[in-house]
Amino acid sequence: MLEIIEKHIATVASTTLDSPEAAENFRIHYLGKKGILQALFADFKSIPGDQKRAVGQSLNELKTAVEAALAGAQTVSSSKKKGPTEDYSRPGYATLPGAHHPISLVRNEIVSIFERMGFAVAQGPEMEDDWHNFSALNFPPEHPARDMQDTFFLAKDPDWALRTHTSSVQVRTMETQKPPIRIIAPGRVFRNEAISSRSHCVFHQVEGLYIDKNVSFADLKQTLLAFAQAFFGEKTEIRLRPSYFPFTEPSAEMDIWWGLENEVDYRMTKGTGWLEIMGCGMVDPAVLESCGIDPNEYSGYAFGMGIERIAMQRFQIPDIRAFYENDLRFLRNFQGAP
């Protein structure tokens, strides 16, 4: 009987199961109710005791070989079934073009214009301490901007808040660099304001700072006019209105002529035709002094603009909330833009 088992082991080892039908026939032949293994195990009962160990080991070896052959056949069958399911002769799908967000498009263009004027780009943290966000910018302790209605304070700590403007970057620059200083600071800012079609609690700014000897308000006006005509067109008109900011004196608001040609124009300009895009002014001597710069030797100007409002003018978008809703129908309008 031992010789018979060894012949079956050799046969199993040389058998190739190249189809599901061959594997099924093989299984029935060896493992079926009337198969070879059932017959051999039945004959095993009559084997003398001194031969049972050797014959039993051979039977187990045969059974293991049969099961391994069947497992290999199933693996081959599965790999054939998992073959290519796509028709590679079909035309491929076109790759959809990527797109910059409209806020990024406008920010990049603004930065590019000021870089051509000689301004360097400066960055700073979005979480700021009281000194850089308020005190160094000449905000007195009782100023309304310090109230919870305008500022997102962190963990109820009045000494830390999400920055309300990128002017904090200007402070950090003045503390670490000596004049002349010519920088712009683009970035995201946060204010605890009601969300509407014209305002949001999160928005983006680009602020500028120029400090050197004999800098005048005329230099500021010419810089802003050059920017407006480079961005909005050569015939762009601007106007400067007196205003107040704690960190500049004198201070002004700059408007551009939007026009009154359609309903969006009336809504965005409140019927005036003029759109306010930035605040500006000469850096207050107290701010220079608090940052370690001698106001008797140096002077400078600063300005800051909201990117969203300019993007609304550029792309004729009537509602600022569209920038933050991630609506693909809105974002697809900017596919292919540079």
Q: Using one digit for the tens of pLDDT, what is the confidence trace for 122-167? A: 999 999 998 998 899 988 888 776 775 588 888 777 788 889 899 9
What residues in the chain have per-residue pLDDT under 50? none
Q: Are 184 and 87 a contacting pair, CB within 8 Å?
A: no
Enter the pTM of the model.
0.67
pLDDT of residue 226: 96
Cα 239 to Cα 224: distance, rounded to the nearest angstrom: 10
Beta bridge partners of 184: 121, 208
Give how far Cα 170 sits from Cα of 72, 189, 232, 237, 298, Å.
Answer: 71, 14, 26, 28, 15
pLDDT of residue 79: 55
Beta bridge partners of 153: 161
pLDDT of residue 10: 83
Cα 9 to Cα 67: distance, rounded to the nearest angstrom: 12
Domains within the chain, CATH numbers bracketed? 2-79 (no CATH), 102-334 (3.30.930.10)
- The identity of residue 8, as a single letter, is H
Q: Are 211 and 298 a contacting pair, CB within 8 Å?
A: yes
pLDDT of residue 270: 80
pLDDT of residue 231: 93
Cα 151 to Cα 147: distance, rounded to the nearest angstrom: 6
Q: CB atoms < 10 A from the CB of 24, how many?
A: 13
